[in-house]
Amino acid sequence: MDRSNAILYESGRFPLWLRVPALVFAIFMLWLGAAIASADLFGVSLGLPKSDEHGSPWLGALLAFAMSSIWMFVWFARIRVLFDPKSREFVLWNRGYFSIEEHRVSIEGCSEIKIRHAHGGFAGRRWRVMLEYPDGRSEWLVDLPCKVNRFAESLGKVSDLKVTKHSGGH
């Protein structure tokens, strides 16, 4: 990452009081999925007591693994929005499980930036940031789960574009 880039938004990590229990629960669900798979599918016990419940061991193991992966994501998740003044691009930096993705969006030809409330996500409401062009097309930039007043000010300063904020749904 080039040091000349302006950091507009940094989600940081979730606080430790949330990440540690989430990681413990994720590891428990991972063990549960492995225990179900090994006992019912391979005949090896990992300490899970045998019950008379009936159901699909494949489905149970897959569900436990899926829940584990969702809660483990809390440990790794991170978003950063940067602006590269040299190339006039926004740089979206997402940290997932074990990789970092970087996506660049150019603002050449963009007429304004719109920020509006959007429904969805764990928080229920998110702010959707869109780049609007004179020809009527729009391009999604990022969805943020936070208040965006300072972010909107920063967007306008670094990009020299008009930034409008709407409360209505999108």
Tell me: the pLDDT tens digits for 48-66? Answer: 766 666 777 888 889 999 9
Quick one: CA dihedral 30, 31, 32, 33, positive or negative? Answer: positive
Long-range contacts of the stretch 122-127 (C-beta < 8 A, 24+): none
Cα–Cα nearest to 81, from 73, 92, 71, 67? 92
CA–CA gap between residue 148 and residue 69 (Å, rounded): 29
Same domain? 101 vs 118: no
Same domain, 25 and 99: yes
Which of 106, 130, 160 is the last residue before a domain boundary? 106
> Which is it for the CA torsion 91, 94, 98, 99, positive or negative?
negative
Q: What is the pTM of this model?
A: 0.62
Same domain? For 86 and 134 the reply is no
87 and 128 co-located in one domain = no
Based on the fold, state whether residues 1 and 74 are members of the same structural domain: yes
CB within 8 Å of 87: residues ≥ 6 apart: 104, 106
Same-domain check for residues 95 and 114: no
**pLDDT digits 0-9 by tens, 16-54:** 788 889 899 999 999 998 888 887 777 677 777 666 667
Domain encompassing residue 13 = 1-106
| Structural domain count of the chain | 2
Kindly state whether residues 152 and 123 are assigned to the same domain.
yes
122 with 92, same domain? Answer: no
Q: Which residue shows structure tokens 């998740």?
A: 77
- N- to C-terminal Cα separation, the chain: 32
> Residues 78, 113: one domain?
no
Same domain? For 63 and 20 the reply is yes
With bands split at pLDDT 50, 70 and 90, how would you rate the model's confidence at 1? very low
What is the structure's pLDDT at 170?
45
Final residue belonging to a domain, choices 53, 80, 106: 106
Residue-level pLDDT at 16: 79
Query: Backbone dihedral region of 24: left (phi > 0), alpha (psi from -120 to 50 degrees) or beta?
Result: alpha
Verify that 96 and 124 share a domain, yes or no.
no
Domain shared by 112 and 126, yes or no: yes
Which CATH number is 133's domain given?
3.30.720
Outline where 77-104 has alpha helix (H).
none
Q: What pLDDT shows up at residue 2?
A: 47
pLDDT exceeds 80 at position 15: no
* Counts for the chain of helices (H) and strands (E), in that order: 3, 8
pLDDT digits (tens, 9 = 90+) for 112-128: 998 888 766 555 567 88
Residues 6+ apart with CB under 8 A from 1: 82, 91, 93
* Last-in-domain residue among 106, 124, 159: 106
Per-residue pLDDT reduced to its tens digit, 76-135: 778 888 888 888 888 888 877 677 788 898 888 888 998 888 766 555 567 888 899 999
How far does CA 2 lie from the centroid of its chain? 23
Q: Can you give the pLDDT at residue 27? A: 93
Measured CA to CA, the distance from residue 40 to residue 32 in angstroms comes to: 12
